[in-house]
A and B are shown apart, each in its own frame.
Chain A
Amino acid sequence: MSPMSRVLLSEWTKIRTVRATLWTLVSALVVTVALGVLISALLNNTFDDLAREDRLTFDPTFISFSGTQLGQLAMIAFGILVVANEYSTGMIRSSLSAVPVRGRLLVAKLAVATALALAVGMVTAFASFLLGQLALGDHRTDLSEPGVLRAVFGTGLYMGLIALFAMGLTWVLRSPLLSFGVQIPFFFMISNILANVPATEKIGDYLPDQAGSRAMAVVDTGGWPYGPWTGLLIMLAWVAAAVLAGWLVLRHRDA
């Protein structure tokens, strides 16, 4: 086995042998789908009460992904745990003694965990969409409509990328407490506030989660200064920056 493939295998073993880590993925799926279905059903029942403008720009695809607001936190938790577990347990020292080429450990861990997060993200996205549409009744759309399939894939990508972003940042922060303390409040509240307060809206639109969520929408409400693919690219740039920062810290700081 090549050095890289054995590290990949080990990282897979690391993930699958800790139940707590796997549970975050399960809850990401369950929370996202359940909340999406719930909000879809709610809107189906109150559709006629919506303002005319809201009815005209109604985006059934985007609505079925409403659960990602909360579900993404579980994805972030997964990303944090995968990396921070190494530091909180001290296992990082054993891992780095076994893999003295530090970048290799980082790449393998990110590759395995991101692949898993992407897979769960895709399942989550399709499940959210399909079950959400069922709940939307007459207001539903389907995958053959223009832009819909792209939005479903976009949501799956978003879920994987948000986990990868958390991993990159956690390589910098190292401590699980610090990582949770910084990232969960940011994505749960701060980013939403920044994107919705007029004074900071322009900056807020370019935050990783706000930009990424552009790819979940089909209908352009005019609220975004860029299109879905540009949104994903902006998010990708954030992710790349986080991973790069993580790699630089891992490479230069004592373990």
Chain B
Amino acid sequence: MIEATGLTKSYGSKTAVYNLNFRVQPGKVTGFLGPNGAGKSTTMRMILGLDAPTNGSVTIGGHQYHQLPNAPRLVGALLDANAKHGGRSARAHLLCLAQLSGIPARRVDEVLDVVGLTQVARKRSKGFSLGMGQRLGIAAALLGDPQVLLFDEPVNGLDPEGIRWVRELMRRLASEGRTVFVSSHLMSEMAQTADHLIVIGRGQLMADLPVRAFIEQNSTGFARVRTPDGDEAGREKLVRALAEAGGQVLAEPEGTLKVTGVELPRISELAHAADVRLWELSPHHASLEEAYMRMTQGAVDYRSSDDQRSGLQAPPQQVPGGWQQPAGPQGGYAPPPLGGYGAPPPAHAAPPHPPHASHQAAAPYRPEDAR
């Protein structure tokens, strides 16, 4: 088991990791999730005793790394797929590491076989692709048949087959009762691989929970409703009915409606009562990636400037109940102005206003956009 207590790492005035507390349990794949620069690699290096924490500590089975009786046989790690000398063959690279830990050369050939590099074992690793480098790095981590495994972004550069192989390997290692700690910046990858999630952003703990709980908490369901094309009247009637029933309706660009707050059978009943035909009525879940991005918003170090503009254009937003407003030729339902009922801003006082004006006014304000 890996346990971090108040783990903090500062480089000068910059804090890479701040007050992390978490436990990584054996028998599970624990995903370590965070945007680039969130402090994942720094944390991994501290676990391995390569970087000294500024504050707090991290232990493996109750010991700091350098106090472990036989560290390389207990802990295996892949930190960087490029951490090899290009002039050395794959086999020689692993042999160096094996000898450091007193592991017999026979084991080198075994792990080469496990990762599927036997064919190129005697080739200089200079010509290896990133994917082959990852396999070599994973082989190095497996050398000591360790109980605790750390993998830093192991699927980077792997093809789909390789990704599936890594996923299955992690799951198998965990099922054998080992502690498997895998970092990634991809939520979708972790949702398929991990049992437990530790999410960090800007070096701080954002979440520490089972994957299942994360999915349940963060994927708010919605219904997608499609009325017959060309039946504008029918659609408006349904929107009104849904709004009266307490639903929140958002018109999507494709002409479909995104409905929250009303159960699917109820939508069907409402449509029936309003005498509107439905072409589609389907349940949906918000993607985990979205939920993860929401969680780490403001904790992203490297944000592209594109992002700021997308904050100003109306993203698919849920419309607060009852405020339906047919809006011009585009046929969208504009969200209400920020001012709400009470005090509409002057721009909206003189109808008809162009739809995009209200779109802009309704854009959610996020403090980090102002930076």
A-side interface residues toward B, CB under 8 Å? 1, 3, 6-7, 9-10, 13-14, 17-20, 85, 89-91, 93-101, 254-255
Nearest chain A CB to B209 CB, angstrom units: 29
| Contact yes or no, A254 B82, CB < 8 A | no
Write the nearest CB–CB distance from B179 to chain A, whole angstroms.
16
With A98-B97, A254-B50, A255-B51 known as contacts, the answer to whether A93 contacts B45 (CB < 8 A) is yes
Q: Quick one: closest A residue to B66, CB to CB?
A: A100
- Nearest Cβ distance between residue B130 and chain A, in whole angstroms? 14
B4 CB, min distance to chain A CBs, angstroms: 17
A21 nearest CB neighbor, chain B only:
B87
| Contacts A6-B102, A94-B140, A100-B66; A14 near B48 (Cβ below 8 A) | no
From known contacts A6-B100, A6-B101, A10-B99, infer whether A97 and B72 are also in contact, taking CB-CB under 8 Å: yes
| Candidate in B45, B87, B96, B98 with the most chain A CB atoms within 10 angstroms | B96
What are the residues of chain B within 8 A of A9 when measuring CB–CB? 99
Tell me, yes or no, whether B241 is within 8 Å of chain A by CB.
Answer: no
Chain B hits for A17, CB < 8 A: 87-89, 92-93, 95-96
Contacting residues, chain B, for A90 (C-beta < 8 A)? 79-80, 82-83
Q: Which of B45, B95, B101 contacts A13 (CB 8 A)?
A: B95
Supposing A18-B88, A89-B84, A100-B66 touch, asked if A7 and B100 sit within 8 A by C-beta, the answer is yes
Task: Give Cα A162 to B111, complex, Å.
Answer: 40
Q: Is the CB of B79 within 8 A of A94?
A: yes
- Total A-B residue pairs with C-beta atoms closer than 8 Å? 89
CB contact under 8 A between A254 and B51, given known A17-B88, A90-B83, A97-B72 = yes
Cα distance, A3 to B48, chains bound together (Å): 19
B96 touching A10, Cβ below 8 Å: yes
B75 at the interface (CB under 8 A from A): yes
Check: B65 CB closer than 8 A to any chain A CB: yes
A98 surroundings in chain B (CB, below 8 A): 71-72, 97, 100-101
Interface size class of B (residues with CB under 8 A): 20 to 34
Q: What are the residues of chain B within 8 A of A18 when measuring CB–CB? A: 85, 87-88
- Return chain A residues, CB-CB under 8 Å to B85: 18, 85, 89, 91
The residue in A3, A18, A89 that gathers the most chain B C-beta atoms within 10 A of its C-beta is A89
Nearest chain A CB to B347 CB, angstrom units: 55
Question: How far does the Cβ of A19 sit from chain B's closest Cβ, in whole Å?
Answer: 6
Q: List A contacts of B86 (CB < 8 A).
A: 89
User: In chain B between 223 and 274, which residues have their CB closer than 8 angstroms to a CB of chain A?
Assistant: none
Q: A17-B93, A90-B80 are in contact. List 4 more A-B contacts (CB 8 A).
A: A10-B96, A94-B79, A96-B50, A100-B71
Cα separation A176 to B95 with both chains bound (whole Å): 24
B6 part of interface (Cβ distance < 8 Å): no
- In the complex the two chains form, is A94's CB within 8 Å of B52's CB? no
Minimum distance in angstroms from B65 CB to a CB of chain A: 6
How many whole Å from B199's CB to the nearest CB in chain A?
Answer: 25
Closest residue of B by beta carbon distance from A97: B48
CB distance from B193 to the nearest CB of A (A): 23
A19 touches B50 (CB 8 A): no
Contacts of A85 in B (CB 8 A): 85
Give A166 Cβ to nearest chain B Cβ, in Å: 19
Give chain A residues whose Cβ lies under 8 Å from the Cβ of B97.
Answer: 10, 94-95, 98
User: Does B276 touch A at the CB level, under 8 Å?
Assistant: no
Q: Is the CB of A255 within 8 A of B50?
A: yes
